[in-house]
Each structure stands twice: as structure tokens, then as C-alpha cells.
Structure 1
Amino acid sequence: MTTARIPRARPALPRRLSLRPAVRPVLCVLPLALVLVVAVRGRSVLVEGIGQLRSAQWPWLLAAVCATALTWVAAAVTRQGAVVDRLPARRLLATQFAAGAANHLLPTGLGATAVNIRFLTACGVPLARSSAALALYLLAEATARVGLLLGLLIAFPGALRLGGLLPQQAAGPLLVGAGLLVTAAAAAWVLVDRLRAAVLGFLRTALGEARAVHTRPARAAALWGGALAFPLLQAAGLAAVGRSLGLPVSPAHMAVAYLAATVAVALVPAPGGLGSVEAALTVALVTAGGPVAAATAVVLAYRIITVWLPLLPGALTLGALVRWKVI
């Protein structure tokens, strides 16, 4: 007597985010439309910035362009270090270039987050682990940025008057807002069981992913090395633009000004920090000792190189990645 074989259940494949066929063509064109909207809204900054570049020293501007290009490499290295799975290097680098454009077209952080979540899930990383890897990346980048700022402030204590970036009258509203946020989060934690269970589950996944990454020296080195290199390259680009326009501020002090300004505007919900970053950078360079006119010229030229120059190619890359189902 023979017994019938019971077929073995196949392991479940990781869930991937899918797009409807009718949605994908719209998403391919949407980045270009957003570029047009952003260009129209920021046309005055664009025109003034291009005008400032005409009087700049081109070798230093070329150095700034190279530093900006290397920031996408640093971002790709950090993204790879935040996940155990091996990611396709070329597609990862192209995704970071496209994510930079998305970050300037949508509220700060939202565009890059969406692009990278889509990329990781398309590479077969489950959504829970993709979100955990994103959280680890953000934690490493924020820790490195704040750590570099504190280190440079210790090394150059007179580089910046931080009071200029945060007026005294703003301290009260900030404290009130922080208190309300903490109170709302505590109330939600106590009253909503489903939210508490979801947060605890995410924290378990994130801690597990972080432990797995840090058991591999190559991944940990990529995560923290890339996280340190990213803001350093951004600050180096600003310093190069400052030298090209003859700003009478030392490169180290310009680096301190850049890090302080970006930390100050990190929570401002503006697309790519447009407007808020320019204002904070100008104030930071002035408090570092630069004349107002020269500081304004440097900031405008720097934003042309880091935002406007790669915006259209980045949007085209984003549309191509959506069309080719890379994201």
C-alpha cells in the first residue's frame, strides 16, 4: 500500500510594493512636471545664482562639482552599509542620484525615503527590513552630522556664533512645540494598543537589522564611513564655492557654518529645504565672519551646483528607473 505524498509548502516570498500599470506612466512624467513647478517658483534664485557663477574662479567651482558628485557615492555606500543584503552597485548609485532630485521636489526626506524604500523592496528586501534599514541610515547620518559639528566647534570654538542661527525669542515656541509633540506621542502610546504593537514590532526588526549589520565589519565600515563622508563632502563643496568667490572665511569655519545651518533646518518641512537652507546658510556664513553680500553670493552659487544643476538629470533618471521597474 502506497501513501500519497503531501506536497511541501513553498516558503513565502518577500512582499513587494507593486504599482498598477496605469500609475507607472504617470510617475514617469511626474518628476519632470515637478521640476518645471520648482523652476518657476525659484526662478529668481536660479537667475541670481547663475549670475554669481560668472565671476567665480572655475577651478574651485569644478572642485565643488566633484565634491557634489561624490556625495551620491557616499550616500550609496551608506545605504549599502545599512542592509545585510548585497545590492546591485550601479542601480544603487543611480537610485541615490534620482533620490536627490526627488528630495528637492517633495518635502524634505519624503522623496528620498519613497525612492529608497521602492528600490529595496524591488531588490527583494521585505518592507519591514527596508524600513529598518532606512531608519538605521537616518540615525547614522544624523549622528555623524551632529558629531562632526560638535567636533569642529570644539576644535574651532570661535568659528560661529550659534545665537545668530537661533534667535532668543524662538526658544520658547520651540520648547512648547517639543512639549506638545512628546505629550501627543505619550498619549498615543498609552491609548492606542495597535500603534504600540506596531512600534514595538518595528523596533524589534530595526534592532535585529542593526545587530546583523554590525556583525559584519565591511557593512559597519560602509555605514559609518559613508555617513561621515556625506556631510564632509557637502561642506567641502561649500568651502570650494566660497574660495571661488573670494569669501573671506576659512574653509574650516565654512564647514562649521554649513553643518550648523543644515542641522538647524533639518526639521523644516520645505521641499529639499528650498528657501530655508539658503537663509540659514547665509546667516551662518555671516556669523562666521563673512560680509552679507559675499555670503549671499556664495550660497546662491552653491545651491546652483548642488540643487539646480543636477535637478533635471536627476528627474530624468528617476523617470527612467520607474519605467524600467528598478523602483
Structure 2
Amino acid sequence: MASSWRRGPMLAVAVVAILVVELVLGWGSLTGALHELRTPHWNWVAGGLVAEIASMGTYARMQRALLRGAGTETGIKKHVALAWAAHSLSVTLPGGPVFSTAYSFKHLRGFGASAAVASWCIALSGVLSAGALIVIGAVFGILTRSTGSWHTLLGYAGGALLVAVAVRFLARHPEWLVNPARALLRRVNRWRRRPADTGHAQLTGMIDQLRSVRIRPASFAYAGLLAVANWLLDALCLWMCCIALDAEGIRPVQLVIAYCAGMAAASVPIVPGGLGVVDGALILGLVAGGLGMSSAVAVVVLYRLISLAFVIGLGWLVWLALRLRAGTPPDEPGPRTSARTASSPASSSPGPGLPRR
């Protein structure tokens, strides 16, 4: 345990050192990028904002489709507000995905969903988002002939189909989850120095509730399409940033490949928002696609101002509005989790910029 605690600060120091070296080596490109950022085409910047707002909206609609497919009806405005607030919690707080998952679970329960339905909705959102990004990367990789052959795409499609079948099977036969879940819970209790059977009653009750969860296939397929649209709209924002800065030399196919590389890097939660990690992956991908270094840096800076700063800022305002509307003083960003909430599955979303990116 002591070595794991030491590993965190060492990793943070390594990231800071890398960023300092990149700043020194890339100072010329950075000054060029700042010059390009002075005179963007504001109509295309506005288009990027619209694309990013639409991207967040499709993620909210994806969760709503899953919830409706399980028999719970809720207005779209509530889902949109939850998506913005939960995303900001996930991206900005240390251990953000944990806060975001508990926050989403609490609100989905408030929408009328059972604990089992809320848990599956959160888990399936993460699975669909990850699967959609893999499929997009595979398809555009085929288009650039960088993945070998159509067999690669068939392999990805087969893998996604197996995941979907496995999820549906577990939803119909939740008793298969009992033994693995109990083994995991015993390990957690041992780590927390609690009795081995702590939480078993809640776990058994949760799994029993899963027997009643039946997400309709049509709703599941519609949610999958929305997950793909969520990523593509975010990639559209990146493309509009290129046009806004007159960054030429990269085709849409190469841009989407660079985008997928950046979003894949976002799955490594080293620093909040993937600062430095995502940006570096995006810049390298855009340069490999044909952009100059200064243009790539400028595009990524503008894109991150929209997809990270704008989305997070608006998301925190939505979170504050929800707290005030509920009559709870905004003293802390995360809800206190009960044993039932803590047993809900974590969201990997995920998410352009996840819970969803």
C-alpha cells in the first residue's frame, strides 16, 4: 500500500516534467499557434460550440433511451441537465468518475428508476460509449487503409456483438453474477478491514432486482446509434476548429483517426480532464494527418477551450442550479453514498471529454 501511495506523486512529477520539456522544445510552435489563435473565423467557432452542445445532448438522449427501454419515462431536460453536471464532476474532481457515478445513480433513482435499472443504465452507457469509439476508429481506419483489411472491421464488429449478447444474457440471468460479485466484495471488505459478509444482503437484493430489468432491443440499438453520434459530433467540433483557424492539409478521415487517438488517451486518468495527455495525442495525430505543428497546436487549444473549458464551466453552472433547485446548499460537489449506491457499477464514459469521454 505504501508503494502505491508513493507511485501517485511520482507519476504526477513525471507528467509535469514531460510538460516542461515539451514547452521548452515546442516554444516556437507555441508562439506560432498563439498568433493563429488571434484571428479565428468566429462563425466556425460558433459552429463548434453548437456541435459540442449537440454532442452532450446525444449522450443524454442515449441514457434516456436506455431508461425508457427499461420502462422508466423521464423528460429529456432532466437527462440533459444530469449529463452536463455529471460530466463536469467526472472530469474535474480527483476520483471524479466515482463522484459522477454516485451522482448519476442518485438522480436516476430520483427519476423513478429502480436501483437495478439505474445501475444498468450507467453501466450500459459506458459500454456503449466505449464500443462506439472502437467501431468509429475501426471504420475510419479501414477508410485510410491503416488497419489491414475488412477482416479487422469484422473482428471489431464481432467483439461488439459479443459484448452486447453478454450484457443481455447477464440481464436475463443475473444469478451468474452472484459468485463473482461476492468474491469481489470479500476482497473489498478484507482491504477495508471489515467482516467478510458486510454488504452481502444489499448485493443479493441488487442482483435479485436485475431479474426485472428488460431493456427492449430497439431501445438498445437506438442508444447505440446515439453513442456513435455523440463521438462524431465531438469530432465535428474539432474539424470546425480546423476550419476556423484555416488549418489546411488534413482530410476528415485522418482527422477522425487523430480524434480517436486523443479520446483513447483520455481513458488514462492521470490528471483531471486528461490535460497534457489528450492534447499531446491530438497534436501528434493531427500532425501525422498533415497539419503543421503550429496549426495543430492552435487547433487543439481552440478545441479544448470549447470541449473542456466551455463544457465544464456550463456543467458546473448546471450542477449549481440543480443543487439550488433541490434546496440543498452547494457545500460539496458529491453526494454521500449509501451502501446501496456504492454497489452500483462505475461509469467509464466515458465520453467525448468521458464520464462519456
TM-score higher than 0.5 here? yes
User: Structure 1 residues 321 and 222, CA, compared in 2 at 3 Å: closer, same or farther?
Assistant: farther
Partner amino acid, structure 2, of 1:140: L
Q: CA deviation at 1:52?
A: 5.1
TM-score, normalised by the number of residues in structure 2: 0.62
- Could you say which residue in structure 1 is the equivalent of 2:105? 117
Alpha-carbon distance in 2 for matches of 1:195, 1:153: 48
Of 47, 53, 75, 1:88 maps to 75
- Could you say which residue in structure 2 is the equivalent of 1:280? 281
- Check if 1:136 corresponds to 2:105: no
Alpha-carbon distance in 2 for matches of 1:249, 1:65: 21
- Could you say which residue in structure 1 is the equivalent of 2:141? 153
Alpha-carbon distance in 1 for matches of 2:228, 2:205: 26
- The SS at the match of 1:109 is helix
- The SS at the match of 2:273 is coil
Q: CA deviation at 1:213?
A: 1.3
- Could you say which residue in structure 1 is the equivalent of 2:216? 214
Alpha-carbon distance in 1 for matches of 2:270, 2:89: 14
- Check if 1:97 corresponds to 2:98: no
- Could you say which residue in structure 2 is the equivalent of 1:266? 267
- CA contact 2:116–2:210 (8 Å) conserved in 1: no
Alpha-carbon distance in 2 for matches of 1:262, 1:198: 38
Q: CA deviation at 1:104?
A: 2.7
- Could you say which residue in structure 2 is the equivalent of 1:323? 324
- CA contact 2:268–2:274 (8 Å) conserved in 1: no
How many percent identity over aligned positions? Answer: 25
Q: CA deviation at 1:138?
A: 0.4
User: Structure 1 residues 155 and 99, CA, compared in 2 at 3 Å: closer, same or farther?
Assistant: same
Alpha-carbon distance in 1 for matches of 2:289, 2:209: 39
- Could you say which residue in structure 1 is the equivalent of 2:304? 303
Alpha-carbon distance in 2 for matches of 1:300, 1:226: 27
- CA contact 2:62–2:125 (8 Å) conserved in 1: yes
User: Structure 1 residues 246 and 260, CA, compared in 2 at 3 Å: closer, same or farther?
Assistant: same
- Could you say which residue in structure 2 is the equivalent of 1:254? 255
User: Structure 1 residues 288 and 207, CA, compared in 2 at 3 Å: closer, same or farther?
Assistant: farther
Q: CA deviation at 1:263?
A: 1.4
User: Structure 1 residues 96 and 233, CA, compared in 2 at 3 Å: closer, same or farther?
Assistant: same
- Could you say which residue in structure 1 is the equivalent of 2:236? 236
Alpha-carbon distance in 1 for matches of 2:120, 2:321: 27
- Count the aligned residue pairs: 254
Alpha-carbon distance in 2 for matches of 1:60, 1:119: 35
User: Structure 1 residues 194 and 67, CA, compared in 2 at 3 Å: closer, same or farther?
Assistant: farther
- CA contact 1:286–1:295 (8 Å) conserved in 2: yes
Partner amino acid, structure 1, of 2:56: W
Alpha-carbon distance in 2 for matches of 1:138, 1:281: 22
Unaligned stretches of 5+ in structure 2? 1-22, 24-29, 148-179, 188-195, 328-334, 336-357
Q: After the TM superposition, which parts of structure 1 deviate over 3 Å for at least 4 consecutive aligned residues?
A: 47-53, 107-112, 188-209
CA RMSD of aligned residues (A): 3.4
Q: CA deviation at 1:202?
A: 9.2
- Could you say which residue in structure 2 is the equivalent of 1:66? 50
User: Structure 1 residues 189 and 195, CA, compared in 2 at 3 Å: closer, same or farther?
Assistant: farther
- The SS at the match of 1:272 is helix
- CA contact 1:64–1:237 (8 Å) conserved in 2: yes
- CA contact 1:106–1:272 (8 Å) conserved in 2: no
Alpha-carbon distance in 2 for matches of 1:155, 1:203: 44
User: Structure 1 residues 156 and 109, CA, compared in 2 at 3 Å: closer, same or farther?
Assistant: farther
Per-residue CA deviation, residues 265-316 of structure 1 (Å, 9 max, x unaligned), is: 3132422222221122112212222222111111001011111123333212
- CA contact 1:133–1:206 (8 Å) conserved in 2: no
Point out the more displaced range, 136-145 or 277-286.
277-286
- CA contact 2:34–2:298 (8 Å) conserved in 1: no
1:3-42 map, 5 Å:
none
User: Structure 1 residues 201 and 281, CA, compared in 2 at 3 Å: closer, same or farther?
Assistant: farther
Q: CA deviation at 1:200?
A: 8.3
- CA contact 2:133–2:260 (8 Å) conserved in 1: yes
User: Structure 1 residues 237 and 88, CA, compared in 2 at 3 Å: closer, same or farther?
Assistant: same
State which structure, 1 or 2, has the greater radius of gyration over its C-alpha atoms.
1
User: Structure 1 residues 270 and 206, CA, compared in 2 at 3 Å: closer, same or farther?
Assistant: farther
- The SS at the match of 2:238 is helix
Alpha-carbon distance in 2 for matches of 1:199, 1:232: 39
